[in-house]
Structure 1
Amino acid sequence: MNENQQLWVTPPFHVSGTATTPVVLASPHSGRMYPDVFVNTSRQPLATLRGGEDSYIEELAAPAHALGPALLYAQFPRAYCDVNRAAWDMDPRMFDGPVPAFVKPTHRALSGLGSVPRIVADNRAIYRTRLPFTEAALRIRDCWMPYHKALAQLLQDCRAQHGLALLLDLHSMPDALEADCPDFVLGDRHGTSCSGNLIRCAETALRAQGFSTARNVPYAGGYITQHYGRPQEGLHALQIEMRRSLYMDEETRTKTAGFARLSHALAQMTQAILTEIQLLRS
């Protein structure tokens, strides 16, 4: 069985709920189903491949999801295909032959962090040899495209039913070396992807529960926030980065006692945002 076939054994994403509220919860990087072929042919052990994984985000979001918002999360891992990059944002140097002209690498892709990443964790190369471009194209077809089709449909449905849609794009971040590392970083692409009222509401709700927050530094939001955040069209997107040590041991990737508190905080924040949207629409 090749890895393309293996992906079809399990759907590339899971979606729960429909557009019963204007909010969509999404986790593009919590997938932890690593194809055997991918792991066995990697230079790195599985523990290293998981370095960029946003473990358990979909579980953290469960109480918020129970309030009504739809929940979408990837099953495939970020190291295999990163949907928070444009589809063809790849490093051409990782392939064993010429690549099509539609491949347009950004500086992030050239550094190894494209839609099909070349590196993981501390600049460690994933692959032993260069890949055939067809392999990357299959990952885009089988992972990237289905995820974005589902996300776009959920947001369109929300806007059609409620007049606007808000994507809460959920991520986790490693602890920074700085002593004042915030608990949450809220990214709205420097005020362009989300209404100011909504990001202020999220900040207020989190701070009221004792968490520290920052805006846009060091995470302003990736491709997803930029692509779907179009407030002038009634589509809002807010990236939410949560400090991993708040809910898990980063070395063992096991949940800690803080998991329940953080999960509750997400639900409280989501409820505050739902209330704020209702006020904005009234």
Structure 2
Amino acid sequence: MKRFFQLQQETHRENTPDRQAAPAPVLVSGTPAAGPVVLASPHSGHFYPEAFVRIARQPLDILRSGEDSFVEELAQGAHSLGPPLLQATFPRVFCDVNRAAWDLDSRMFHGAIPSFVAPSDRGLAGLGSIPRIVADRRPIYRQRLPFMEAALRIRHYWMPYHAALADLLEAAHAQHGFCLLLDLHSMPDAPQAGSPDFVLGDRYGTSCTQRLTNLAEQTLQGLGFKTARNHPYAGGYITRHYGRPTNNMHALQIEMRRGLYMDETTRTTHEGFAPLSDALSILVEQVLAHFPSQKNTTHFSG
């Protein structure tokens, strides 16, 4: 694998102007281990490198269709209660950190494909860590990419995000004996699930103790929101990878209906933004109140 990162300088320089103009790929706000809860927004990034836009087949408004717009802003109130907030500044259509690193559709590249590439069914469908398609299954690129392009994105975007997330969770767990990742996302209306306001994904009870999922569900329902659990979103790679309830490490994916807080056509927020942000704050307050108050307490299980 290392040989894919022994890059010729001229290859790396192609992206240099965009990388200099860009924000840091990953931003962390707050103090690690300030509490047992970590907030994360992996899909709200909206910096689109010029080199990427140039090689894309689709216009920017289509490329942005899968963006979880404003989610990191919705989380600011909850963040102010103490939990650190991690966010990616790059968009998921460019690099999706909610997929395994080498979950790639080899058909989108030309040249030799290394043996460590291991596509899942979603990867083969074009929805891997470097997506091949966007909304309505539209192809993103005009032509096949060199595999080195994927390797660079994994190195400079995927890996820093997961390094930061792992550090935050490990620090919280070491300090408090338990931790909970609230992985924040947004979603279009989901009529197949009854158009819920929130979908809570705990990988069917395998990534988060039922006690915490129940608490989140009851809190949101008590605020008047309609909720669903694990359908149509049970949680992706992040939830599956970091949620280990037997080790007191919990991960809960929270999908929020975009119509609650924004106009999807104009991609602008509306009057529902503040109430939804307040709801996230109340949810975090309830979670913090129900965590054991001292390190090394009894196992936090449902």
TM-score (norm 2): 0.91
Structure 1, unmatched stretches of 5+, are none
Partner of 2:6 in structure 1? Answer: none
Q: Deviations over 1:112-161 (max 9, x none)?
A: 10000001011010000100000000000000000000000000000000
- Change beyond 3 A, Cα 1:179–1:151: closer
Partner of 1:12 in structure 2? Answer: 25
- The code of the aligned residue for 1:56 comes to F
Partner of 2:112 in structure 1? Answer: 98
- The code of the aligned residue for 1:7 comes to R
Q: How much does 1:79 deviate?
A: 0.3
How many residue pairs match? The answer is 282
Preserved CA contact (<8 Å) 2:193 2:231:
no
Q: How much does 1:6 deviate?
A: 2.3
SS at 1:278 equivalent: coil
Aligned pairs for 1:1-282 (under 5 A) are 2-3=14-15, 6-7=18-19, 9-18=22-31, 19-178=33-192, 180-278=194-292, 281=297
Q: How much does 1:211 deviate?
A: 0.2
SS at 2:94 equivalent: coil
Partner of 2:5 in structure 1? Answer: none
SS at 1:14 equivalent: strand
Q: How much does 1:194 deviate?
A: 0.4
Determine the C-alpha separation between the residues in 2 that align with 1:99 and 1:248.
41
Preserved CA contact (<8 Å) 2:40 2:86:
yes
Q: How much does 1:174 deviate?
A: 0.5
Preserved CA contact (<8 Å) 2:193 2:232:
no
Q: How much does 1:17 deviate?
A: 1.0
SS at 2:110 equivalent: coil
- Change beyond 3 A, Cα 1:5–1:223: farther
- Change beyond 3 A, Cα 1:86–1:5: farther
Determine the C-alpha separation between the residues in 1 that align with 2:42 and 2:75.
13
Preserved CA contact (<8 Å) 1:4 1:139:
no
Q: Deviations over 1:163-217 (max 9, x none)?
A: 1010000000101245831000000000000011111111111011100111101
Preserved CA contact (<8 Å) 1:4 1:138:
no
Q: Deviations over 1:230-272 (max 9, x none)?
A: 0111210000000000000111110011000100000000100
Mean CA deviation greater in 2-11 or 155-164: 2-11
Determine the C-alpha separation between the residues in 1 that align with 2:16 and 2:236.
26
SS at 1:182 equivalent: coil
Q: Structure 1 runs of 4+ off > 2 angstroms?
A: 1-10, 176-180, 278-282
Alpha-carbon RMSD across the aligned residues, in angstroms, is 1.4
Preserved CA contact (<8 Å) 1:7 1:142:
no
- The code of the aligned residue for 2:45 comes to G
Determine the C-alpha separation between the residues in 1 that align with 2:142 and 2:177.
49
- The code of the aligned residue for 1:122 comes to D
Q: Deviations over 1:3-39 (max 9, x none)?
A: 3652354211110112101000000000000001111
Q: Percent identity?
A: 62
Determine the C-alpha separation between the residues in 2 that align with 1:30 and 1:10.
14
Preserved CA contact (<8 Å) 1:3 1:38:
no
Determine the C-alpha separation between the residues in 2 that align with 1:157 and 1:234.
13
SS at 2:290 equivalent: helix
Determine the C-alpha separation between the residues in 2 that align with 1:276 and 1:41.
49
Mean CA deviation greater in 75-84 or 173-182: 173-182
